Copies of this chain bind each other. A is one copy, B any other.
Amino acid sequence: MTFFEKLENQVFSKQTFLCVGLDPVWEKIPSHLPRTQQGMLDFLLKSVNQTKDYAAAFKPNFAYFEALGISGLEVLQELIKKISPEVPVIGDAKRGDVGHSAQMYASAVFESFGCDAVTVSPYLGQDTLQPFFEYKDRGVFVLCLTSNQGADDFQLPDLHLQVAKKVREWNVSGNAGLVIGATHPEKIAAVRKISGQMPYLIPGVGAQGGDLEYTLLYADDGSKIPYLINASRSILYATSGEDYAEKAGIAAKNLRDRINTTRSSL
């Protein structure tokens, strides 16, 4: 089954457009948990277990695991193995390198870590994205317009639109998507016009304060999976108490419901 088929199954069986981001940092993990590789893995697995009924996908961010050293990457590998295979995993790795190196990164994310999808950076152009697109059963979300202040430096005013246009052209296997920050809801409409129907991975609704209503309004393309709304910290660190996993589950359910209510009111 391809990434997008898996995703569609999840979106419809659970009635959810929520993607739960997994960004582990010791400083935020409840203090009663042991500061060990197993402690980290348990924290993530319990959080996954309590949120999985509301999550269309999970998105581990490679940066956080790499910062923990080799043992962090072992946690990542174990974690992905233990997430139920019907729930797709988006490896948020933001990779981007020339030809053969890109093949190596695709192999690492898709084969060594077993991710169903990946995030990649477009700066180096088509031949550096192609090795990812060639994994036709995997999803490839290309950075387009990000939710941080630095989006002003190069992405705006035009580059993100060029990226959307090119990714549409390059999407011959139908496995591409775009990463678009919710902090620019008014710009999402313009990207949507250019990209056509294509799933968006949308961060920035939670801690970064993007407007959910306008984001959903402008991102919708009339297709079955127009977008995934990602939230990481607001779910994973809903509380620092011993009931962290239950609270993560409640936060995930609440956001799923808020997305659905907002969708039905548009």
Contacts and interface: CB of A to CB of B under 8 A. Distances in A.
For this complex, into which size category does the number of interface residues on chain A fall? 35 or more
Given A95-B94, A97-B63, A105-B67, A150 B121 contact: no
A125 B107 contact: no
A97 B97 contact: no
Interface in A59-99: 61, 63-64, 66-70, 73-74, 77, 94-99
A194 to B, nearest CB: 15
Contacts of A154: 122-123, 125, 159, 162-163, 166
A262 interface: no
Contacts of A125: 146, 148-155
A55 interface: no
A162 B157 CA distance: 13
A96 B96 contact: yes
A147 interface: yes
A127 B104 contact: no
A219 B124 CA distance: 21
A143 interface: yes
A77 B73 CA distance: 13
A128 interface: yes
A107 B67 contact: yes
Contacts of A23: 100-101
A166 B61 CA distance: 27
A173 interface: no
A125 B128 CA distance: 20
Q: Interface on chain A toward B: helix, strand, loop, or mixed SS?
A: helix
Given A153-B126, A154-B125, A63 B108 contact: yes
Given A121-B96, A146-B98, A63 B105 contact: yes
A102 interface: yes
Contacts of A64: 101, 104
B101 A61 contact: yes
A102 B23 CA distance: 12
A149 B99 CA distance: 9
Contacts of A112: 66-70
Interface string A220-246: 000000000000000000000000000
Interface of A: 23, 25, 61, 63-64, 66-70, 73-74, 77, 94-105, 107-108, 112, 121-129, 143, 146-155, 159, 162-163, 166
